[in-house]
Amino acid sequence: MKQFNLFVIALGFVCFSATAQQKHYLSFRNETELRTFLDGKRATYPLISAHRGGPMKGFPENCIETFENATSYQPVIIEFDVALSKDSALVIMHDDKLDRTSNGTGQIGSYTYAELQKVRLKDDFGTVTDYKIPTLEEVLTWGKNKVLFTIDIKKGVPYSKIIAAVRKTHAENNSIIITYNANQAAEVHQLAPDLMISASARSIADVERLNTMGVPNDRIVAFVGTSAPDKAVYEYLHSKGIVCILGTMGNLDKSAAANPDKKVYYNLIADGADILSSDELAAAGKELDQYRKDKKISTPNLKIK
């Protein structure tokens, strides 16, 4: 009997481990399928945008291992940052300096790509890992048929270089380029009319300005800020077919952590947000799981492996 009980416990552990390692992958066969998925006029599938890739203990921000880990929690959008090395390699790093996120020191732009490969990333708790700084091409290649990307760029990085990397890796089906004003959005659209663009759009006037500058609604994913806008803003954007990203990193994440019974993330989606850009992947994901279940929302683009 004792041996049987041990067998049952071992079997349960194996089953739990297998479940914990499930991957939630998003896959789009072409750009039309992606645009259909991101159509605000239809019932959208709510998502978490993992801010800086979803860092947590043992998993530093902005690295492929962390991105892969995020998919074990949720089907995700991976938001990450691109910087330039001294020899103009596109590398994934948020800060201008290496100090906070790695065992290196100094300006990232003062190191060549080869020198940066000797650096090791550390997690938010200061623990140095074995993980390296990846390149943009490595990230885009990894993400095919796994995640959506929102690609943020640091000052001095040309949009043309980002777009060239997207083209080279054939990542058009799962890439969204982040812009911060209408001029940037117009530049990206002129360079790559087929790509989706994350644009700051917190009002009707913002959308009209984007349209006036040649950016069509079916290429826009609206970032509505880091505090929930009036529901009328959501209604207007959805009427134009535009899905909305609300940034919860910061005050909204803190509010959710302080008030776990208030279903902060659930209610933000219910009020009109389609995507929550969060630092709290696990906590936000649980509430989105419940929302999808309650509203019976699914998507053929999700593959669980």
Both tokens of 249, joined, read 């990193």
Residues 6+ apart with CB under 8 A from 143: 67, 78, 149, 171, 174
Both tokens of 303, joined, read 């593959």
Residues 6+ apart with CB under 8 A from 180: 200
Cβ proximity of 124 and 61 under 8 Å? yes
Cβ proximity of 46 and 291 under 8 Å? yes
Cα atoms in the Cβ-side hemisphere of radius 13 Å centred on 63: 22
Q: Which residue, chain included where needed, has tokens 């917190």?
A: 202
C-alpha dihedral, 216 to 219 to 224 to 230, nearest 10°: 60
Distance CA 45, CA 291 (A): 10
pLDDT score, position 4: 43
pLDDT score, position 20: 54
Which of 24, 51, 189, 238 is catalytic? The answer is 51
Predicted structure pTM score? 0.92
Distance CA 120, CA 101 (A): 9
- Say whether 238 is catalytic: no
Q: Could you tell me the mean pLDDT of each successive run of 10 residues in the chain, 305 residues long?
A: 45 42 95 95 94 98 98 98 98 97 97 98 97 98 98 95 98 98 98 98 95 98 96 96 97 96 97 98 97 96 95
- Say whether 170 is catalytic: no
What are the CA-CA distances from residue 217 to residues 11, 120, 184, 229, 285 (Å)? 52, 41, 15, 19, 28
Which of 24, 94, 189, 238 is catalytic? The answer is 94
- Beta strand 90-92 with 148-153 is unpaired
Q: Which of 300, 289, 297, 241 is nearest to 263 (CA)?
A: 289
Print the SS3 string covering 133-197: CCEHHHHHHHHCCCCEEEEEECCCCCHHHHHHHHHHCCCHHHEEEECCCHHHHHHHHHHCCCCEE
Q: Which of 169, 172, 160, 165 is nearest to 34 (CA)?
A: 172
Distance CA 185, CA 196 (A): 10
